[in-house]
A = this chain, B = another copy of it.
Amino acid sequence: MQQPQETSRRTLEVCFSPKLFADHITRDPFIVVLVDVLRATTSICAAFEQGVKTIIPVATLDEAKAWKAKGYLVASEQDGKKLDFADFGNSAFQFTRKSVGGKTLVYCTTNGTRALMMVPPVNTVAIGAFINITALTRWLVKENQHVVILCSGWKNKFCIEDSLFAGALTEKLLATGHFETHCDSAAAAVDLWKTAEQDLFAYLQKAAHLHRLRRLGLDDVVPYTFTPDTTSVIPVFDGKEIIDKAKTKL
């Protein structure tokens, strides 16, 4: 790949919590990569891989219930557990071609969709996960905008698993030569990823959320979540709904 001129490089930042996002907003347009690998953004990628048509993210349970009453399929969880009124929780394994193929799904989660609501409508938001990391990298290079990787965290706190993904994606984007970063969070995320990738599943034992999911019997998705490139979907939120940009270009 030809190396672009230094001056044409796009900037790359990492934001470790939705509460810190306002301080990453700049005048220049930028794409936000939303990250909640355990589990919303991985599950959203999985739903598109299974052929869901569109996903409507909502921030509150009341909104999710209102959509359900209108007859929509709804995925909704609180603190990791599927809520009774919903059709799905937040696990990637629930979505099958039969259950979601060609349909619209309404999505409400503890961290992921609430983080999404922090982003101003002017910004394009791409959904990032290990399972679509290479497709996402290629798409971000092609879009040629500045990028902020927004980690959903756990109830506004820094979390290890999203930070590891931020580090892995930062490393991939910098390696293309199309991006540069002067962001301390991005540098730290890359170093955490370099430490963790040597024995990723052992490292993940440090993540409090993994233990939370294990206590709920919901950690069956962990190997799937951290296996890269099982899909090439590029779910993108336009302010109203999420569609698969990979599909719309075929």
Query: Which one of B20, B194, B207 contacts A157 once the chains associate, using CB atoms below 8 Å?
Result: B20
Which stretch in A72-80, A113-121, A177-185 binds the other chain?
A177-185
Query: Which one of B16, B159, B182 contacts A158 once the chains associate, using CB atoms below 8 Å?
Result: B16
Could you tell me the distance between the alpha carbons of A130 and B223 in the complex, rounded to whole angstroms? 40
Residues of A130-158 contacting chain B, CB below 8 A:
154-158
Could you tell me the distance between the alpha carbons of A191 and B19 in the complex, rounded to whole angstroms? 24
Contacts of A163 in B (CB 8 A): 184, 188
Could you tell me the distance between the alpha carbons of A188 and B188 in the complex, rounded to whole angstroms? 9
Query: Which one of B24, B184, B206 contacts A184 once the chains associate, using CB atoms below 8 Å?
Result: B206
Q: How many residues of A contact B (CB 8 A)?
A: 29
Contacts of A184 in B (CB 8 A): 154, 157-160, 163, 206-209
- Whole-angstrom distance from the CB of A146 to the nearest CB of chain B? 16
Cβ-based interface call for A31 (8 A)? no
- Whole-angstrom distance from the CB of A15 to the nearest CB of chain B? 8
The reply to whether A16 and B19 contact each other, CB–CB distance below 8 Å, is no
Cβ-based interface call for A187 (8 A)? yes
Cβ-based interface call for A170 (8 A)? no
The reply to whether A185 and B206 contact each other, CB–CB distance below 8 Å, is no
Contacts of A159 in B (CB 8 A): 184
- Whole-angstrom distance from the CB of A165 to the nearest CB of chain B? 13
Contacts of A24 in B (CB 8 A): 157
Q: Who on chain B is nearest to A207 by CB?
A: B184
Q: Who on chain B is nearest to A159 by CB?
A: B184
Q: Who on chain B is nearest to A16 by CB?
A: B158
The reply to whether B191 and A195 contact each other, CB–CB distance below 8 Å, is yes
Residues of A167-202 contacting chain B, CB below 8 A:
182-185, 187-188, 191-192, 194-195
15 A–B contacts, CB within 8 A, in A order:
A16-B158, A17-B19, A19-B19, A20-B157, A23-B157, A24-B157, A154-B184, A158-B184, A159-B184, A160-B184, A163-B188, A182-B208, A184-B206, A184-B209, A192-B192
